[in-house]
Structure 1
Amino acid sequence: MTVMMKTVAALAIGGAACAASAGAQEITVTPIAEARIRYETAEQDDIVARAHALTMRVRGGARLARGAISASIIGQGNLAAVDTYYDGLTGAASRPLVADPQNIALYIAQLQYSVRDLTVTAGRQKIALDDERFVGNVAFRNNAQTFDAVRAEIAPAQGLKLDLSYVWSVRTIWGIDGKEGRQQAVGGNSVLANIGCKTPVGTLTGFAYLVDQDEAAVQGYRLSSQTYGARLAGSHVLATSVKLAYQASYARQSDWGRNPGDYRAGYWLADALLDVHGWKIGAGYEVLGAAKGRVAGSPFTSFQTPLGTNFKFQGWADKFLTTPPDGVRDLYVGGGYGAGQMGSFSAVSLQGTWHRFESDRFGQHYGNEIDLLASAKVRGTTIALRYAHYEAETLATDTDKLWVQLDWAI
């Protein structure tokens, strides 16, 4: 059965279930509409021409609900009004990559059953676990990432939550024209298990992610892996309008499924953020380790996160979306300011972060990066200005990126 047939079958079953309960409750219909306009420009030292991308993304659909049962359908389209960039799929890479190819697709098609302590979702859906380091939606990219899956979220006791997903296809950011190593979708039989427990010092989460990238075109199955780990995330109020937030995580990863490699690699993260009357300062250290195994030092045997929202981590210049063979160590320091209301603006945020990147093996200095962001809401519109500057030492080349973005939703 194809993925689309599975999706249609799930929705048909849901419709029959709703019809069978006729008279119990009325069906409510909630429209869904989103729009985004973004200008992105990029300049790399190893490419003569700059990239200019003016893209417009729209999403539309509806959520139908009756009691505990709901069905959601959302379509999306991405149009490049200015397309002087390499989208990763068409043409030659004569300009820097902007990973927003034109696309029209079914974004969400899910059936959901939700009661107090249980939510089950089947079909094409968003899955974002914890901070999205290992499993996420990649919401920054216009086509985002969704999963054809069955997911159960269970709360058997107060403060305890179990999250289990079986994924048979990952719908990538490359859209309907995806090909070769940048597929439209990556099939497999992945299991994502996450259990969280609230404690006095924060939420303690244990996880097991068995990722099956069952596609020869996607790095020859080398992104199939099993990852086991734990994460603690919490915050503590030190005084009036003074709060300390912190997180720590550790994981081990090795080959899985049809992966021809034989490797073991580690991951750990520690960071903290101090918020004093809206002013923020923080620092952290994240390590995606180099492999230890018979093929140590080979590509795709360091710690990889193929299902994560990788744009959120290790700088916005996208130099580490795939972990280098010798791993990566990211020391970062940042600060900023946030306010709920500032004149006509709400949700105001100013932030800046400096990164120093080194290899996990041999201690090579890859390069440094500075990331800056200013964002705010004006009524129903979110405005964001973002900038990234990567200064290369031993990995990649000097790169500058600038984004101006408007988002609107109902």
Structure 2
Amino acid sequence: MGLLLCALPLAGRAADGLWQSLIGGKPDLFLRYRFEYADDARPTLKPAYASTLRSALGYRTGTFHDVSLYFQIQDVRVVGSEHTFNDGSNRVSDRALIADAESTEIQQYYLRYGGLPKTVLTLGRQEITHRPAPFQRFVGDVAWRQHFQSFDAVRVLSLALPKTILDYSYIWNVNRIFGEDNPLPDAADFRSNSHALNLQYSGLAGIKLEGYAYLLEFSSPRSRRFSTATAGLRVQGDRGLGSGLRLAYAGEFATQHDYSNNPNHIAVNYALAELGLSYAVGGILESLGLKYDYERLEGDGGARSFQTPLGTNHAFQGVADRFLITPGDGIQDHFVTFSARLSGVQISAVYHRFLSDRDGYAYGSEWDLQAERAFGSHFLAGLKWADYQADRNAINVARNSATSQAFDLTRFWAYVQYSY
């Protein structure tokens, strides 16, 4: 009886500590309204218009015995008519695709444990990224769309080794951007048995090394073409040249092979070379930048091309989204980026020239323009425009009309968002 009486205050304090951790957390809120226009030159499609609002409300508890919880609900609403665009599930087949379908769903819910030295374990539905937004080539949250991509996974993130980030995830389901209510096969989810490993080392002055391995296995007949094993290495860095001038560079190489249940024989490579200059001006014109990139995703025809099914692909090969899936003949992308910051407005202009990897014919070219400004620490507004002009050469028309790279595509966005 005495032991029981002694234990009661301890149990009471533990319960009180748990309660305080639950109510002593922090909420977060994200709101984004966006208007999008898409004019797809495929002969069966009319221009599309979408007016949508994304609302995401989350809550992170305090820590109790090194454990915290996070929960986030996401809602996407069409403001106005939902029949003026194809959202990927509404069966509006005579309009261009704008993949922002209405739905309400649990976007994230996970348990996080931080009791190990410089290591965090996360279990549950979570957003996973390995590089800063939006340039998440292999694993990303696709935060440009109103539905963000999340993963049902266990993740280990460790800083235990000096100047090293070790990031490993086992993923059993991918919650895709088309929403849980999408009836089309594989649109809502990719059932998965996948491993994602990323290592980053910053122990060399001005240089960052990144190595990665992605073993992706997807279970359905439609998605297993993306079951691949990818391994690669990236080197990037920058250095000051004096008088406000900086040089930035990056190089990357990866190899990809068919893996597990993939029915195709795949042996293709990826390469990137980047060189840029930036200049801190000062005054109203705060900065200027100029950058050249060459990116190559090999393809041997058919389904044998380098793919990145979990990446934020909107940020690559032009934001018009003609190349979200790498064509069978692969792609070479030569692009030049001009950037400036003027009175708080971030401006960019990008010109792309697209060639196939196999046979070297032209797909087309694209201009991408964007202006974006933050207002304080919570508000942001922007305008964005993309214009893809297809090359109508005989090979491109014959091989890529069915997958639409042989047709022009123009998109325009206006958006405003609030985050807390």
Task: Please state how far the C-alpha of 1:44 moved relative to its aligned partner.
Answer: 1.6
Q: 251, 254, 257: which one pairs with 1:254?
A: 257
Structure 1: how far apart are the matches of 2:199 and 2:212?
A: 6
> 2:334 corresponds to which residue?
331
Q: Residue 216 of structure 1 aligns to which amino acid in structure 2?
A: P
Structure 1: how far apart are the matches of 2:103 and 2:288?
A: 40
Residue 358 of structure 2 is aligned to residue 361 of structure 1: yes
Structure 1: how far apart are the matches of 2:186 and 2:93?
A: 14
Q: 176, 201, 213: which one pairs with 1:208?
A: 213
Q: 22, 25, 32: which one pairs with 1:36?
A: 32
> 1:108 corresponds to which residue?
108
Alpha-carbon contact 1:317-1:390 (below 8 Å) kept: yes
Residue 245 of structure 2 is aligned to residue 242 of structure 1: yes
Task: Please state how far the C-alpha of 1:200 moved relative to its aligned partner.
Answer: 2.2
Task: Please state how far the C-alpha of 1:141 moved relative to its aligned partner.
Answer: 0.5
Structure 2: how far apart are the matches of 1:245 and 1:279?
A: 13
Task: Please state how far the C-alpha of 1:26 moved relative to its aligned partner.
Answer: 4.4
Compared with structure 1, are the counterparts of its residues 43 and 182 closer, same or farther at alpha carbon in structure 2 (3 Å cutoff)? farther
1:115-134 correspondence to structure 2 within 5 Å: 117-130=118-131, 131-134=135-138
Compared with structure 1, are the counterparts of its residues 22 and 90 closer, same or farther at alpha carbon in structure 2 (3 Å cutoff)? same
Alpha-carbon contact 2:45-2:96 (below 8 Å) kept: no
SS across alignment from 2:226 = coil
> 2:71 corresponds to which residue?
73
Compared with structure 1, are the counterparts of its residues 30 and 24 closer, same or farther at alpha carbon in structure 2 (3 Å cutoff)? closer
The superposition leaves residues 88-145 of structure 1 with CA deviations (integer Å, 9 ceiling, x where unpaired) of 1121420110011111110010111236510111101011113410111000000010
SS across alignment from 2:160 = strand
The superposition leaves residues 250-283 of structure 1 with CA deviations (integer Å, 9 ceiling, x where unpaired) of 0000111111111100000011221112101011
Structure 1: how far apart are the matches of 2:374 and 2:206?
A: 32
Q: 306, 314, 317: which one pairs with 2:317?
A: 314
Residue 48 of structure 2 is aligned to residue 51 of structure 1: yes
> 1:196 corresponds to which residue?
200
Once the two structures are overlaid, the 10-residue window that deviates more, 43-52 or 166-175, is 43-52
Q: 53, 60, 73: which one pairs with 2:57?
A: 60
Task: Please state how far the C-alpha of 1:24 moved relative to its aligned partner.
Answer: 8.8
TM-score of the two chains, using structure 2 as the length reference:
0.86
Structure 2: how far apart are the matches of 1:186 and 1:24?
A: 36
> 1:386 corresponds to which residue?
384
Q: 156, 168, 191: which one pairs with 2:160?
A: 156
TM-score of the two chains, using structure 1 as the length reference:
0.89
Structure 1: how far apart are the matches of 2:185 and 2:251?
A: 33
1:263-278 correspondence to structure 2 within 5 Å: 263-277=266-280, 278=287
Structure 1: how far apart are the matches of 2:341 and 2:15?
A: 48
Alpha-carbon contact 2:144-2:314 (below 8 Å) kept: yes
SS across alignment from 1:157 = coil
The superposition leaves residues 154-202 of structure 1 with CA deviations (integer Å, 9 ceiling, x where unpaired) of 1222211211100000000010222334421111110001111112241
Alpha-carbon contact 2:85-2:92 (below 8 Å) kept: no
Compared with structure 1, are the counterparts of its residues 81 and 25 closer, same or farther at alpha carbon in structure 2 (3 Å cutoff)? closer
Q: Residue 89 of structure 1 aligns to which amino acid in structure 2?
A: S
Compared with structure 1, are the counterparts of its residues 244 and 26 closer, same or farther at alpha carbon in structure 2 (3 Å cutoff)? farther
Task: Please state how far the C-alpha of 1:211 moved relative to its aligned partner.
Answer: 0.8
SS across alignment from 2:25 = strand
Alpha-carbon contact 2:186-2:220 (below 8 Å) kept: no
Once the two structures are overlaid, the 10-residue window that deviates more, 186-195 or 172-181, is 172-181
> 2:283 corresponds to which residue?
none
Structure 2: how far apart are the matches of 1:215 and 1:251?
A: 26
Compared with structure 1, are the counterparts of its residues 175 and 20 closer, same or farther at alpha carbon in structure 2 (3 Å cutoff)? farther
Alpha-carbon contact 2:249-2:275 (below 8 Å) kept: yes
Structure 1 or 2, whichever has the larger Rg, is 2
Structure 1: how far apart are the matches of 2:155 and 2:118?
A: 14
SS across alignment from 2:333 = strand
Q: Residue 309 of structure 2 aligns to which amino acid in structure 1?
A: P
Identify unmatched segments of 5+ residues in structure 2.
1-12, 281-286, 397-404
1:75-90 correspondence to structure 2 within 5 Å: 75-82=73-80, 83=82, 84-90=84-90
Identify unmatched segments of 5+ residues in structure 1.
1-18, 292-296
Task: Please state how far the C-alpha of 1:235 moved relative to its aligned partner.
Answer: 1.5
SS across alignment from 1:311 = helix
Structure 1: how far apart are the matches of 2:15 and 2:310?
A: 38
Higher strand share: 1
Aligned residues: CA RMSD: 1.7
Alpha-carbon contact 1:26-1:66 (below 8 Å) kept: no
Structure 2: how far apart are the matches of 1:114 and 1:271?
A: 37
Q: Residue 361 of structure 1 aligns to which amino acid in structure 2?
A: R
Alpha-carbon contact 1:170-1:185 (below 8 Å) kept: yes
SS across alignment from 1:87 = coil
SS across alignment from 2:57 = strand
Task: Please state how far the C-alpha of 1:223 moved relative to its aligned partner.
Answer: 0.7
SS across alignment from 2:158 = strand
The superposition leaves residues 291-341 of structure 1 with CA deviations (integer Å, 9 ceiling, x where unpaired) of 3xxxxx122x100000000001110111111111110000001102025xx
Compared with structure 1, are the counterparts of its residues 257 and 280 closer, same or farther at alpha carbon in structure 2 (3 Å cutoff)? same
Structure 2: how far apart are the matches of 1:399 and 1:182?
A: 25
Alpha-carbon contact 1:25-1:66 (below 8 Å) kept: no
Q: Residue 204 of structure 1 aligns to which amino acid in structure 2?
A: L
Q: Residue 60 of structure 2 aligns to which amino acid in structure 1?
A: R
The list of structure 1 runs, each at least 4 consecutive aligned residues, that deviate by more than 3 angstroms after superposition, is 19-26, 179-182
**Paired positions, count:** 378
1:218-229 correspondence to structure 2 within 5 Å: 218=223, 221-229=224-232
